[in-house]
Structure 1
Amino acid sequence: MTFDTRVDATGKRVLTFDCYGTLIDWETGILDLVRPWLAAAGRSDIPEDLVLTAFALHQARHQQTRPALLYPEVLSRTWGDVQATFGLPDDPAQRAAFAASVGDWPPFPDTVAALRRLAGHFALAILSNVDEASLARSLRLLEVPFILTVTAERVGSYKPGARHFETAINDLAAQGYAKESILHVAQSRHHDVDPASRFGIPTVWVDRRHGKRGTGATIANTAVPLARVPSMRAFADAVCV
């Protein structure tokens, strides 16, 4: 699949975004946190991509079996499972730090500038698999206003479940934005491109992991987006014309 230098945003008035992996660099945030823990345990030999893969699989299991579980508890249980996967000692302090780390994960270097450009052309919204408090911390880093945020805490479900998209469609309609005016922008084909397509919402895949092996902190999926871009900067270049 090639990158698209032009994206057909005709008739689109609102952009809905996944946050973590798309706007926020959660893989860097996660690895920067756990790298010293692995070193202290004498396990710097564990490949970082394998840590991210284990994270993705264990997180998905907790999210889908306990959809009402708040995201910090998902993270705590997920890191406990990663510890067990690699034979690391159970460390409650690490699990607590991992659970509280979301607001410290950094935006991608191009995110804020791209959002500022996009805000001059579209209304912006976020559909995220986290809790309200964690997202609030990240929103301060993004620096632009969003007309709507839909969290897993609010809907009692995690993407790729349908409730994020059902809620966004209804709430945006109440603000005067028809479903046909929505373009969804996300990094994860599993969490976002696939379910959005089931609602007839076109998606732009921000392929943040292009050139890297595997799917990192997300689950593999072959859903086909409307367009594929390598970054938020490239997306802004494609639609801010």
Structure 2
Amino acid sequence: MREDRMHLGEFKVLTFDMYGTLIDWETGLHAALAPLAARAGREIPREAVLDRFAAWEIVQQRTTPAARYADLLAVVAKRVTEEWGVHASWEECLAFGRSVKHWPAFDDVPAALRYLADHYRLAVLSNVDNESLTGSLRRMGIAFDAVYTAEDIGSYKPDLRNFRYMLAALERRGFGAGEILHVAQSLVHDHGPANEIGLANCWIDRRHGQDGAGATGAPAEMPRLAFRFDSLAALVAAHKAERAAG
């Protein structure tokens, strides 16, 4: 669904958030935390697990912006399990941090990216370390033209530093900000800062029809959106329809 009067064909570069947009991180991180949650002696619903993860992840990203994501996740696991009254060994917390490479891609992603790669340059701007991302990239079905990680930059989205780093790198490759569409799920980590920095944005609302904000948390206010789709496949369908209409 188009929110503003923009056309997908206006852009030359699509920049993607990885986790939540291309990788089904809620399924992956919940599966990795579930064995620890099961020790609490009471049922902890999936949404409650995701909510506490979101709360502690953003605190830790602000507190230790230079930490590798896998190591940061280990601290998040430690804090969340402490809240549950669960003892988790440091090795178990580290194992959670190392689980990122095993988190699954959404089913529509490989085919959608292969199509989009025929029409755009594709890049990634991700809150992750390079080693973890390597496992996720194998699930994509294509090679991206550029990859920018929190480990490269030394800070985590929603810090505008990450977006400025990416825009400067793409400008050196000949692409201006007006030629870039940022495609992401997180309203907090991606769409809010995209508004602040003046970057056109496309919301892939992977949680459509679900209550709550999930593992990304809720924004203080709803960001402006250039486009909104329920899936990457829906974005592809809209692009095909736009081209067919001339």
**Shorter chain as normaliser: what TM range?**
over 0.9
* Structure 2: tracts of 5 or more residues without a match: none
Shift of 1:146: 1.0
Q: Deviations over 1:93-116 (max 9, x none)?
A: 320110101100010011111111
The equivalent residue for 2:80 is: 82
The equivalent residue for 2:226 is: 226
Choose 50-59 or 162-171, whichever is displaced more.
162-171
Matches within 5 A, 1:118-197: 118-197=116-195
The equivalent residue for 1:13 is: 12
Partners of 1:19 and 1:157 lie apart in 2 by 16
- Give 4+ residue runs of structure 1 displaced > 3 Å after superposition: 3-7
What TM-score, normalized by structure 2, do the two folds share?
A: 0.92
The equivalent residue for 1:22 is: 21
Shift of 1:7: 6.5
Shift of 1:90: 2.7
* Structure 1: tracts of 5 or more residues without a match: none
User: Is this contact kept in 2: 1:59–1:75, CA < 8 A?
Assistant: yes
What TM-score, normalized by structure 1, do the two folds share?
A: 0.94
Q: Deviations over 1:138-185 (max 9, x none)?
A: 111112121111111111000000122111111111111111100000
Aligned CA distance change for structure 1 residues 44 and 25 (closer, same or farther; 3 Å):
farther
Partners of 2:6 and 2:208 lie apart in 1 by 18
Amino acid at match of 2:227: A
User: Is this contact kept in 2: 1:14–1:123, CA < 8 A?
Assistant: yes
Shift of 1:87: 1.1
Matched, 1:236 2:215: no
Q: Deviations over 1:13-72 (max 9, x none)?
A: 000000000000000001122223333x15461111011010001010010111111111
The equivalent residue for 2:36 is: 37
User: 182, 200, 213: which one pairs with 1:202?
Assistant: 200
Shift of 1:4: 4.2
Aligned CA distance change for structure 1 residues 143 and 89 (closer, same or farther; 3 Å):
same
Helix, strand or coil at the partner of 2:34 = helix
Choose 42-51 or 83-92, whichever is displaced more.
42-51
Q: CA RMSD in A?
A: 1.6
User: Is this contact kept in 2: 1:35–1:44, CA < 8 A?
Assistant: no
Would you tell me which structure has more helix in proportion to its own residues?
Answer: 2
Choose 87-96 or 66-75, whichever is displaced more.
87-96
Helix, strand or coil at the partner of 1:228 = strand
User: Is this contact kept in 2: 1:59–1:78, CA < 8 A?
Assistant: yes
Choose 173-182 or 55-64, whichever is displaced more.
173-182
Partners of 2:6 and 2:117 lie apart in 1 by 17
Taking only the aligned residue pairs, the percentage that are identical comes to 42
